[in-house]
Amino acid sequence: MDNYQDTDPWNASSNAWKKSDDPGVHTEDTEPSFSRVSSEFNTLNLSTPLDTNEEDTGFLPADDVLEESIWDDNRNTVNGDGINRASNLVTGETASGQNDPENSNTEETEADVSDWANKIRRTYRPLDANVIVIEEIPEREGLLFKHANYLVKHLIVLPSNSPSEERTVVRRYSDFLWLREVLLKRYPFRMIPELPPKRIGSQNADQIFLKKRRIGLSRFINLVMKHPKLSKDDLVLTFLTVRTDLTSWRKQATYDTSNEFADKKISSEFMKMWKKEFAEQWNQAASCIDTSLELWYRITLLLERHEKRIMQLVQERNFLETLVDNFGEVTPKLYPVQQNSTILDINNNFSIIKKHLETTSSICKQEMEETSGTLSPKFRIFTDILLSLRSLFERYKIMAANNVVQLQRHVELNKEKLESMKGKPDVSGAEYDRVRKIIQKDRRSIIEQSNRAWLIRQCILEEFTIFQETQFLITRAFQDWAKLNTNYTGLKLNEWEKLVTNIMDMPISRE
């Protein structure tokens, strides 16, 4: 049973990617810190075929057995003609005959992977415009703690929803919280967006906090609606269309929260398509997700600091405008007109400077509003996506566990026990049947858990494929950042050039 150790399917360096007769396989756990993760999506080395004959088990029809074991590279499968053939799911190679080129199946697998990935990518377009708008309703509700209500409006006709002029519903923060909890139950291995934090008491009256929370809720629901799977969920559509109070609806309605794998079987096509490098890419992403989040958070933070500096610049220019005006009132006392009237010409040009300060201040306000309302959310949305990916990594570690290894060992021990019972007259038939039923139960559990493990693997690969499309959000964010700065830098430069031209006539001598 040593070959069952250290076989986490997403750990590309584990024994799961080595053949059972490979002398390089090490049975000890070389990475203790990773042992918990490894146990959560555990070894599924089913190199020992599951017998389905009545004499041995008497319970497993052939259709209930997965066509191929999951991690073992040396395994036998039965094709449609009932002929055994060895296949390698990791590399995509199949020994189907001497006349076939050695790499023919590898090329076919590459094409299958490409077609599969392209099909998945086409379902997700993160650069599309938002389809949900959220506005805060000014009136508050609640006796002790006032809570905010939000007007949630969908701009498109939703799936399975008849066209209607009325496309708005009223929701509370707790309704968004319920929706996310439901999505986590149904789709634990999908990228579920995070929600903005919740506050109570006097903090709920903080307008800055409330504005940020509204924007965060908007990012959450629009990320959900752009996801190819989540956007079609019936409870998501209920959240967006049921016009009654959602809390009351939840108390009366009956809805299913079982996960998406219920009654679902993994396809043999996906099993044959699987490649070792998928796991390597996944592990590389997992290893750098925290660093990526920290770096992007700092990028976004600096952008927001720039926004604050613009606000400070607006305040300083308004103050400078006031100071220039006040200074113009005292200059005639410093430079009596009787001595020379040039001070009046200088004072007259102060109005030009004040106009310049007023105009550039207005430009800075526009820049700040566009940065806050349009540019900053483009950086923030990528933070939300990285957070959802990190949460997926964490849920995977916690929820993808199985005990297939222990069950396999249990089956082997009980099979040995059955063998020892044969030919012994003192062994009762009831005891023999009891052991066989235990084997039956364990084998069914192995099949169910191995199927679930494959479904998890497929689901995660789909999400990781979808995630690849979010790289273009980085492009869009920096493109818009460059355009915004170019635009407003040009406007400010134009105003400075006009000021230089206009004040060139200020007197610099008595002549």
383 vs 133: CA distance, rounded Å: 20
Give the pairing type, strands 168-172 and 84-87.
unpaired
467 vs 202: CA distance, rounded Å: 38
454 vs 458: CA distance, rounded Å: 6
Q: What is the pLDDT, as a whole number, of residue 143?
A: 45
Closest CA to 168 of 150, 148, 152, 149: 152
Q: What is the pLDDT, as a whole number, of residue 92?
A: 33
156 vs 32: CA distance, rounded Å: 51
418 vs 421: CA distance, rounded Å: 5
Please name the residue that has the structure tokens 């069952």: 4
For the chain, the farthest-separated pair of C-alpha atoms sits apart, in whole angstroms, at: 136
H-only helix segments in 422-468: 429-468
203 vs 210: CA distance, rounded Å: 9
Q: What is the pLDDT, as a whole number, of residue 71?
A: 32
Class of domain 132-260: alpha beta
Q: Which residues contact 457 (CB under 8 A, 6 or more apart)?
A: 9, 10, 274
Q: How far is CA 23 from CA 19, 42, 105, 196, in A?
A: 9, 22, 26, 52
Strand ranges in 1-94 using DSSP code E only, listed in sequence order: 75-78, 84-87
Give the start-to-end residue ranges of the domains of the chain.
Answer: 132-260, 304-504
Helix (H, G, I), strand (E, B) or coil at 439: helix
Q: What is the pLDDT, as a whole number, of residue 260?
A: 92
Q: What is the DSSP letter of 253?
A: -
Q: What is the pLDDT, as a whole number, of residue 424?
A: 78
Q: Which residues contact 348 (CB under 8 A, 6 or more apart)?
A: none
Q: What is the pLDDT, as a whole number, of residue 339?
A: 80
Structure tokens at 200: 């109570």
333 vs 337: CA distance, rounded Å: 8
CA dihedral 458, 460, 465, 466 (to 10 degrees): 120
Helix (H) or strand (E) holding 223: helix 207-226
Q: Which residues contact 372 (CB under 8 A, 6 or more apart)?
A: 307
Q: What is the pLDDT, as a whole number, of residue 4?
A: 31
Q: How far is CA 3 from CA 27, 33, 46, 66, 411, in A?
A: 7, 20, 11, 20, 16
234 vs 241: CA distance, rounded Å: 10
For 284-352, give the secondary structure using H, E and C.
HHHHHHHHHHHHHHHHHHHHHHHHHHHHHHHHHHHHHHHHHHHHHHHHHHHCCCCCCCHHHHHHHHHHH
DSSP labels, 59-85: ---GGGS-SS-SS-SSEEEE-TTS-EE
26 vs 9: CA distance, rounded Å: 16
Q: What is the pLDDT, as a whole number, of residue 163?
A: 58
Q: Which residues contact 282 (CB under 8 A, 6 or more apart)?
A: 10, 460, 461, 464
Topology annotation, domain 304-504:
Substrate Binding Domain Of Dnak; Chain:A; Domain 2 (1.20.1270)
Q: Residues 340, 260: contact at Cβ < 8 Å? A: no
Please name the residue that has the structure tokens 């992403």: 285
Q: What is the pLDDT, as a whole number, of residue 13?
A: 44
Q: What is the pLDDT, as a whole number, of residue 341?
A: 84
| Positions of the chain with pLDDT lower than 50, given as ranges | 1-99, 101, 143-144
129 vs 117: CA distance, rounded Å: 23
Helix (H, G, I), strand (E, B) or coil at 198: coil
Helix (H, G, I), strand (E, B) or coil at 170: strand
